[in-house]
Amino acid sequence: MEKQQTMSGRVALVTGGGRGIGEAIAHSLADLGVRVAICDIHDGAERVAAAISSEGQRAVPYHYDISDVEQTADLVNSVINEFGRLDILVNNAGIGGAHGLLHEINVEDWDRTISVNLRGTFLATKYAMPHLLEQTHSTIINIASTYGIIGAPLAPDYCATKGAIVNLTRQLAVDYGPLGVRINAVLPGYIDTDLGGRRANLPKDQAEEMFRRRETSAALQPLGRQATTTEVARVVAFLASDDASFMTGSIVTVDGGCTSTFYHG
Ligand SMILES: NC(=O)c1ccc[n+]([C@@H]2O[C@H](COP(=O)([O-])OP(=O)(O)OC[C@H]3O[C@@H](n4cnc5c(N)ncnc54)[C@H](O)[C@@H]3O)[C@@H](O)[C@H]2O)c1
């Protein structure tokens, strides 16, 4: 039987790693011995990097906006200057987007969602790819959403970007599989985070109502609850590892079964 290769020595870049699912992904990769570059537009990457470093692993924070061309090119250059290589890219940074019927949402809000969720994934992939192509166990994990394969109420921009990321994942698998880079997507369902700080920005009663609604919806799906960020992160870490060496172009739901049925309750 072939021995599992150690992942120590490899380097991962996790976008949006300053909190939520990205934070858990950074920790899960570090637990496998991977050195982690953590990028976030907001504060948070420093705290996460410090926590990982205090556990004896190597992590470096980066403060960049992945929707911006120059910043994303700089980000990848800085990671290469620091670590000398890049093996794993996790395109996790994302925003929840506008909330409303398509004809009611602002063009600016639509553009912003496309810009962070889709263009950001494109830019990080574009600048990381030449370095991934230099390594032998390279891989990309795109964090899409169950909302990329179903329609969700009042989220046209978000659903459009996540659906695009799902099929971009398949397309990239076709082009880069022969070149040695595996590319998969993870589709979380209801995860207990504050995507885009939406809840934090609401008045207390509305924030509580939003949390209650999510809990109620999650309770109706087969596993009956929201997931923790770690439950998503461990699947990402598996896909990044050589245990997933024959997986590319896979669309992996981590959703408590919610997209397997239309029977909810
Ligand atoms: N929470 C859920 O229920 C859920 C469900 C499905 C998919 N997702 C996806 O998981 C990913 C992570 O979401 P989360 O729930 O952890 O949200 P979150 O808001 O807690 O974390 C997202 C992180 O991305 C960062 N970010 C946003 N825009 C950025 C930019 N332009 N450049 C760099 N960093 C940026 C934010 O500052 C934040 O730290 C997103 O892609 C989201 O769409 C989340």
CA–CA gap between residue 32 and residue 240 (Å, rounded):
10
- Backbone dihedral angles phi then psi of residue 186, each to the nearest 5 degrees: -110, 130
Per-residue pLDDT of the chain (265 residues; tens, 9 = 90+): 776 678 999 999 999 999 999 999 999 999 999 999 999 999 999 999 999 999 999 999 999 999 999 999 999 999 999 999 999 999 999 999 998 999 999 999 999 999 999 999 999 999 999 999 999 999 999 999 999 999 999 999 999 999 999 999 999 999 999 999 999 999 999 998 876 566 666 678 877 887 888 888 889 889 999 999 999 999 999 999 999 999 999 999 999 999 999 887 6
66, 116 in Cβ contact below 8 A?
yes
Nearest CA to ligand 1 atom 43: 94
* Residue 208: per-residue pLDDT: 82
* Residue 262: per-residue pLDDT: 85
* Residue 4: per-residue pLDDT: 66
18, 43 in Cβ contact below 8 A?
yes
Q: Helix axis angle, 120-132 relative to 156-176, nearest 10°? A: 20
* Residue 196: per-residue pLDDT: 57
Query: Which residues make Cβ contacts (< 8 Å) with residue 156, sequence separation at least 6?
Result: 98, 101, 102, 105, 110
Annotated active-site residue 158? The verdict is yes
14, 37 in Cβ contact below 8 A?
yes
CA–CA gap between residue 13 and residue 246 (Å, rounded):
22
Catalytic residue among 62, 158, 176, 190: 158
Ligand 1 centroid from CA 1, angstroms:
39
* Residue 72: per-residue pLDDT: 99
* Residue 207: per-residue pLDDT: 75
User: 11-260 adopts what CATH topology?
Assistant: Rossmann fold (3.40.50)
* Residue 197: per-residue pLDDT: 60
* Residue 192: per-residue pLDDT: 82
Question: Which residues have any ligand 1 atom within 6 Å of their CB?
Answer: 15-16, 18-22, 39-42, 44, 65-67, 92-95, 116, 120, 143, 145, 188, 190-191, 193-196
Mutate to test the pocket of ligand 1, among 13, 15, 19, 21 (most ligand atoms within 8 A of CB): 21
168, 136 in Cβ contact below 8 A?
no
DSSP character string of the chain = -PPPPP-TT-EEEEETTTSHHHHHHHHHHHHTT-EEEEEESSTTHHHHHHHHHHTT--EEEEE--TTSHHHHHHHHHHHHHHHS---EEEE--------S-GGGS-HHHHHHHIIIIIIHHHHHHHHHHHHHTTSSS-EEEEE--GGGTS--TT-HHHHHHHHHHHHHHHHHHHHHTTTT-EEEEEEE-SBSS-GGGHHHHS-HHHHHHHHHHHHHHHHTSTT-SPBPHHHHHHHHHHHHSGGGTT--S-EEEESTTGGG-S---
Q: Domain extents for the chain?
A: 11-260
CA–CA gap between residue 196 and residue 189 (Å, rounded):
16
